[in-house]
Amino acid sequence: MADLKLTGVSKNFGSQTALSDLNIDIASGEFVVLLGPSGAGKTTTLRLVAGLEKPDTGAVWIDGRDVTALAPALRDVTFVFQQYSLYPHLNVYDNLAFPLRSPLRKISEDEIRTKVLEVARMLHMEDKLKNPATQLSGGQMQRVAIGRALVRNPSVYLMDEPLSSLDARLRNDLRLELKRIQQDSGATMLYVTHDQVEALTLANRIGVLDQGRMVQLGTPQQIYQDPDSVAVASRLGSPRINLLARSALPQLSLPDAVQTLGVRAEHLQVHAADSGVTDGVPARVLRQERLGDQHLLHLRLPGSVQELIASCGPGHSARADQDVLIQITQCLWFDAADRRLRP
């Protein structure tokens, strides 16, 4: 495996800026996930690393070599796309073997067979090798697409939302399998997704992209617990983080620079109005959601149209239109430009 580095990379498409001064340093064997909304520059980053696009400025380095001017075939990377992109006229074995039969590689059929069988075992696809690609389920086809990347053992794996077209159960199964494969192989992976669950479960580090800029890069715990901006705080968390104007909570004593408060659902405690809590903020229950072991209450503060979401234990009871008191056990501060303020 190899390290991957992008230094000062920018890319424009006409008047549209796709990436602006992107810097990222990925260690060998690291799993980095790029997270952000559509149009943030995630796929463009992968295409620049693969050589499918050329940066307007900056450089791409793989294994200590500047590969910015190299053709895609000479970069030793593989690309797994959102759609399966299999060869329908070939069976699973030949789909997996196809990259190894490139004229650029001089590999014997015995070596190819050994590698294909090894990857098939890793993917739990040994019994499907003779099946035509068209006779596979969606999850199996995506496994073959991933296996076609793994069989080459490249310097860097690039993956562009490879699980997004699968149903929830298959997506969960393949997510766990992909993490296992990466750990077993020690592969260097740059993975793109808009799914925060994928980012949290797969990544060693998460890079949050917003409007073509890397706004924060850190471990999943850092991104979730210590975001640098409202944009980062909003990318992770289910349910979403509660964002409140300071005027919504005049009871709180806050520094003058604080304009927005960010409160996670688990940091809101809900008490009955007659509970005797003396420092609670009045609120009214709008509705409740019971999601297995998670119980969510949707609340509204007096004089406000904004909803708050609180996460309570499964035994918590409340009803619509009930008056309650809420306590904020932890919150994040943001200034007028949505940048994080730390006490």
Query: Mind listing the domains of the chain with CATH numbers?
Result: 4-235 (3.40.50.300), 242-341 (2.40.50.140)
Q: Which residues of 101-135 are buried (b: 16+ CB within 10 A; e: fewer)?
A: eeeeeeeeeeebeebbeebbebbebeebbeeebee
Q: Evaluate if residue 293 carries a pLDDT over 90.
A: no
Nearest-5° Cα angle at 148, 77 to 146: 90
Q: What does each C-alpha distance from 64 to 27, 69, 234 come to in angstroms?
A: 11, 14, 35
Each residue's pLDDT tens digit, 222-265:
999 999 999 999 999 888 999 999 988 888 889 999 999 999 99
- The structure's pTM equals 0.87
The per-residue pLDDT for 312 is: 84
Look up residue 15 and give its two tokens: 């008047």
- For residue 193, give the nearest of 214, 207, 180, 204 by alpha carbon: 207
Task: Report residue 277's pLDDT band, with 50, 70 and 90 as the boundaries.
Answer: confident
The per-residue pLDDT for 119 is: 87
Task: Report residue 153's pLDDT band, with 50, 70 and 90 as the boundaries.
Answer: confident
Least confident of 130-134, 169-173, 305-309: 169-173
Q: What does each C-alpha distance from 90 to 85, 87, 130, 287 come to in angstroms?
A: 12, 6, 9, 53
Each residue's pLDDT tens digit, 308-321:
999 987 667 778 88
The per-residue pLDDT for 314 is: 67
Contact between 139 and 166 under an 8 Å Cβ cutoff? The reply is: yes
Each residue's pLDDT tens digit, 67-111:
999 999 899 899 988 777 788 999 999 999 998 988 777 889 999
- For residue 26, give the nearest of 55, 42, 49, 54 by alpha carbon: 49
Least confident of 31-35, 48-52, 245-249: 245-249
Least confident of 74-83, 165-174, 186-195: 165-174
| Residue % of the chain over a pLDDT of 70 | 99
What strands lie across the sheet with 260-263, from one edge to the other? Answer: 242-245, 260-263, 332-334, 340-341
- For residue 150, give the nearest of 107, 183, 176, 194 by alpha carbon: 183
Spatial distance between the Cα atoms of 232 and 168, rounded to a whole number of angstroms: 25
Residue with more model confidence, 332 or 277: 332
Q: What does each C-alpha distance from 296 to 149, 220, 265, 268, 303 come to in angstroms?
A: 41, 23, 8, 11, 22
The per-residue pLDDT for 238 is: 85
Residue with more model confidence, 227 or 273: 227
Counting beta carbons within 10 angstroms of the beta carbon of residue 84, is it exposed (0 to 12), middle (13 to 18) or buried (19 or more)? buried
